[in-house]
Structure 1
Amino acid sequence: MTSLQRLPTSLTPLDAALAVLLDDVEPIAPVEAVLAETVGCTAAEMPPLPVHPLRDIAVVDGYAFSARDLVGASSYSPLPLLAAPAWVEAGEVMPHGCDCVLDADSVDISGPMPQVLAEAIPGQGVRRAGSEFAAGSLVVRAGQRVLPRHLVMARAAGLERIKIRRPRLRIVNVPGGSATAALIAESARAESADIIHVTAASRDAVSIGAALDTGACDLLLIVGGSGVGRTDAAVTALAARGAVLAHGIALQPGRTAAVGRIGKTPVVVLPGAPDQALAAWWTLALPLLDRLAARARRRTVNLPLARKIASQIGLAEIVLVERNEDMWNTLAVGDLSLDAIGRAEAWLVVSGGSEGFAAGSTVDAYVLRE
C-alpha cells in the first residue's frame, strides 16, 4: 500500500519557496510570430523602425495647395487659378510643393477659371512626414505585453512578424478537480501561454506520474491532489519523477501547494480548491511565467485602504480588493469566496512577517483586469 504524502512539521515561507522555484530559471528563447498571433504575448527584442510616413500624406479628400499661395483668398475675394488644382484622396502622398488640403466647398470650379474661396495654414488636412513615429522607434518595448494598438504601428511599418516569448505550459488535472483545472487553464490563456491540458487516468501516484511529461513544456502545473488525504498523491508522483523542493507553503489560502523540478523543468502543484489554486497561481506560477517570458514588472495600483487589514503572523495571506472612490475596499483576507474572487479588481499579499495594514495605509495591489 502506498504511504500517504505528508506535510512537513513547519511550512516553507512563501518568499523562500518562490526563490527556490525561480533558481536557475532563465527566459526562454524568443520566436517570430505573425502579428495576429502575438496579442497578449510578451514582446522580445524589437528592430528599430524607419520614419513613418516617409512623405506628407493627405488625411482628408480635397484639393492640394501650398498654403503661402492662398494668402488673402476668401469668398469675398476669390483667388483665380490658371489651372485646375490637384485632387487628393485621404491616404495619398501629397504632390510636390503642396502642404495643405482644402475641401471641395473651398474651391469653385464651376466657371471658366477655377477660384479658391478660403485660406489655409501649412499642414491643414495633412499628416506630416515622420509625424506618426520617428526613426528608431519601437513597436513595443521588450518585456511588455503586446496589445492590439501596438500592431497598428507594426503594420504601418510594413512588419508581418515580430519576436515574442510564449512559455509552453502543461497542465495536469488530477481527477476530481476539473473545474479548478479549467480555471487555471483559462487564467493561463489570459497570459497567452501555449497550453497543453491533460487529465491523469486516475488519482494514484502511478497514473499522475505517467502524465508528467516535461518534454514539450517550460513549466508544468499539477492541479489537485496536493493535500494529505488518502486519495492525494500528486506530490508523491512528483517525488518519484523528479524533486520536491517544498511542500507546505506558508500561504493562506494554499498551504498544501508544492514546488519542485523534473529535470530542469519547474513544477508547481496547485491545490484542488479554486481559492487555494488561485493563491498559488498568483504567487508562484505567475512569477515563474514572467521569468520565462522576460516580462516586465506587472502593473500595480497604489491606493489607501478604506479599512484596516489584520493578518496572522507567520502566514502570507492573499487579500482581494476592489476600487471604491480612489480607495481599496477589502473583499476578503485569507478565505476567498467565489463571490469575492468574481468581484475582485486586484490582489495583494500581506507578508508572513506583517500583522497587516492600518486603515488609510497606501498599498500596491496587482491589477486583475489589464
Structure 2
Amino acid sequence: MEYFTCISLKEAKQLLMNALAGRIVASEPVSLDEAFERIAAEDIVSKEDLPPFSRSTVDGFAVRSADTFGASEGVPALFDIVSEVAMGQETCVQLQPGQAVTIPTGGMLPAGADAVVMLEHAERPDNNSLLVLKAAAPGENVVLKGEDISKGHCILRQGQQILPQDIGALAACGFEKVPVRRKPNVAIISTGDELVNVACTPVNGQVRDINSYALAAMLAEAGCLVRRYGIVQDQYEELRTAVSQAILQSDLVVISGGSSVGARDHTVKVIQELGNQDVLFHGMAVKPGKPTIFGMIGKVPVFGLPGHPVAAMTVCGQIVKPAVQALLGQKSGNVYTIPARLTRNMASVPGRDDFIRVRLVKKANEYRAEPILGKSGLISTMAMADGIVHIPADKGGLYSEEIVQVNLITKP
C-alpha cells in the first residue's frame, strides 16, 4: 500500500472523529483533591445557594440604605445601634427604620438591612448611637444570598477540564466527590532494529529510543495513563505480538516508526490483519509527519507515527491528542497561543499543512517568533522551541514581520 496519495489534515481529523464517535471512556468518582485537571463526566450543578445567606464584605454597620440618603459629614444621619452580629452565627434581628447593627466582615446581614456602612464613614458618639457621614447605596458592601453561585447553576459542563478555580467552586458548594472520566490507557510501542534503550551506549548504526519517552510525556500531559511497551525489532511477528497484547490492555495504541512503505515497515499489515479491515488512512499532507497511519483494531484506535522525533511529536499533537480528547468526551482541549511577529519569510507548499518550530524573543512590547530550522530527525530543534506556527494548506507561506499565532508547546 502506498501512502503518497495523502489526504489533508482536515480530512484525517474528520475520519478520526467519525471512527471514535461514541467511544468515550467510562466515568469514575474521585475525591476533590484528586480532581485537578481531570475531565468532568457530567454536568455538575450546585444544590445550594452560595453564599447561603446575605453577608457583609466589610467591618461596619448594617443599615437600611434609604435611611442614609442625604447623609454627609455636615449633616450626618442618626441611627440607634440595637444589636451586634457575631461571626459564624445566625442573627434573628429584624431591622427597623433608623436602626443599625454592628457587623464584621463575612457576618450575616440581618433581615431588613440592604447595605453596610464602612467604619471609616461612621462615628459613634456613644455605645448606642451611630452617625453615618456618607450615603450608602442599596447592596453596598453586601454579597446577597446566591449572588456568587445560585442553586441550580451549572458549575462544570460535561467534558470540561477541572481547573483550580473550579476546585474552589466545588469546595464552596460542598462537593466532596466529583464524577470524572477515567484516564485513557495508552500503549506506546517503539519499532526499529537501530533502537537501543536510553541506558545503553549506542554503537555504529544505533540510536537511543527517543520517541517512546517524548510521546509518553505528551500523552501523560494530555491526561492519559501511559505504558511503554519497549523496543520491538523490525520483525512482523514481533510487532504483531506486541500490538495484540497492547490492544487488550489499552484504549489507544501508538506505534512509533515503521509507518513508511519500506520492506521492514509492518504497521499497516498488522493493523489490517488484527482489525480485519483496511487502515483508515496512510499518509497526510503535512510536514513534518507525512507517513502517518491510522486504523481501528476492534474498538481501539491505533496510530503509526513517523520515526523521526520531531515528526512523531508534531503528529502526536495534531492527531493523537485530539483522539484522546474524543475518548475523554472533550469537544476541544486547551490550546495556549500567543501572537508574535515572524522574523523571516517561511515558504510552504500549497495543499500541505506545515508546522514550524519557533523560539520566542520579547522585544519592546511584543514577541518575535524566530523559526528554528532543521530536519525532523533533530530532537534539539524541538527542545529549543517555545511553540509551533501552523501554515495552513491554503497558504503558500508566511512573510517576515507578519503577525502569527504561536501554539505554545508547554502551558504558560
Question: Which interval holds the TM-score relative to the shorter structure?
Answer: 0.7 to 0.9
Report the equivalent of 1:4: none
Is the deviation greater in 262-271 or in 57-66? 57-66
Residues 156, 42 of structure 1: CA spacing in aligned structure 2 closer, same or farther, 3 A cutoff?
same
Is 1:96 the counterpart of 2:96? The answer is no
User: In structure 1, the residue corresponding to 2:226 is in which secondary structure?
Assistant: strand
Query: Alpha-carbon deviation of 1:266?
Result: 0.9
Residues 77, 354 of structure 1: CA spacing in aligned structure 2 closer, same or farther, 3 A cutoff?
closer
Residues 180-199 of structure 1: pairs in structure 2 closer than 5 A: 180-193=211-224, 195-199=225-229
Q: TM-score, normalised by structure 1?
A: 0.77
Is the deviation greater in 227-236 or in 63-72? 227-236
CA displacement 1:208-252 (0-9 Å, x = unmatched): 433332234332112344456787655554455335444444432
% same residue: 23
Query: Given the alignment, which residue of 316, 341, 360 partners 2:353?
Result: 316
CA RMSD of aligned residues (A): 3.9
Query: Given the alignment, which residue of 10, 14, 33 partners 2:4?
Result: 10
Q: Which amino acid aligns with 2:173?
A: A
User: In structure 1, the residue corresponding to 2:248 is in which secondary structure?
Assistant: coil
User: In structure 2, the residue corresponding to 1:146 is in which secondary structure?
Assistant: coil
Q: Contact (CA 8 Å) 1:171, 1:223: kept in 2 or not?
A: no
Is the deviation greater in 291-300 or in 262-271? 291-300
User: In structure 2, the residue corresponding to 1:214 is in which secondary structure?
Assistant: helix
Q: Contact (CA 8 Å) 1:320, 1:340: kept in 2 or not?
A: yes
Residues 239-318 of structure 1: pairs in structure 2 closer than 5 A: 239-242=272-275, 244-297=279-332, 299=335, 305-312=342-349, 315-318=352-355
> What is the distance in 2 between the residues matched to 1:42 and 1:335?
36
Q: Which amino acid aligns with 2:242?
A: A
> What is the distance in 2 between the residues matched to 1:302 and 1:77?
55
Query: Given the alignment, which residue of 50, 55, 58 partners 2:56?
Result: 58
Q: Contact (CA 8 Å) 1:75, 1:117: kept in 2 or not?
A: no
Is 1:37 the counterpart of 2:37? The answer is no
State the number of aligned residues. 363
Is the deviation greater in 302-311 or in 73-82? 73-82
> What is the distance in 2 between the residues matched to 1:115 and 1:349?
66
> What is the distance in 2 between the residues matched to 1:37 and 1:138?
20
Query: Alpha-carbon deviation of 1:359?
Result: 4.3
Is 1:139 the counterpart of 2:169? The answer is no
Query: Alpha-carbon deviation of 1:76?
Result: 9.0
> What is the distance in 2 between the residues matched to 1:105 and 1:310?
65
Q: Contact (CA 8 Å) 1:107, 1:114: kept in 2 or not?
A: no
Q: Which amino acid aligns with 2:33?
A: A
Residues 312, 70 of structure 1: CA spacing in aligned structure 2 closer, same or farther, 3 A cutoff?
closer
Q: Which amino acid aligns with 2:110?
A: P
Q: Contact (CA 8 Å) 2:356, 2:372: kept in 1 or not?
A: yes
> What is the distance in 1 between the residues matched to 2:307 and 2:318?
16
> What is the distance in 1 between the residues matched to 2:324 and 2:145?
40
Report the equivalent of 2:241: 210
Q: Contact (CA 8 Å) 2:292, 2:303: kept in 1 or not?
A: yes
User: In structure 2, the residue corresponding to 1:96 is in which secondary structure?
Assistant: coil
Q: Contact (CA 8 Å) 1:221, 1:269: kept in 2 or not?
A: yes
Report the equivalent of 2:369: 329
Q: Contact (CA 8 Å) 2:220, 2:226: kept in 1 or not?
A: no
Query: Given the alignment, which residue of 1, 8, 18 partners 1:23?
Result: 18
Query: Alpha-carbon deviation of 1:168?
Result: 0.9
> What is the distance in 2 between the residues matched to 1:142 and 1:347?
29
Q: Contact (CA 8 Å) 1:74, 1:116: kept in 2 or not?
A: no
Structure 2 gap ranges (5+): 86-101, 197-207
> What is the distance in 2 between the residues matched to 1:226 and 1:8?
11
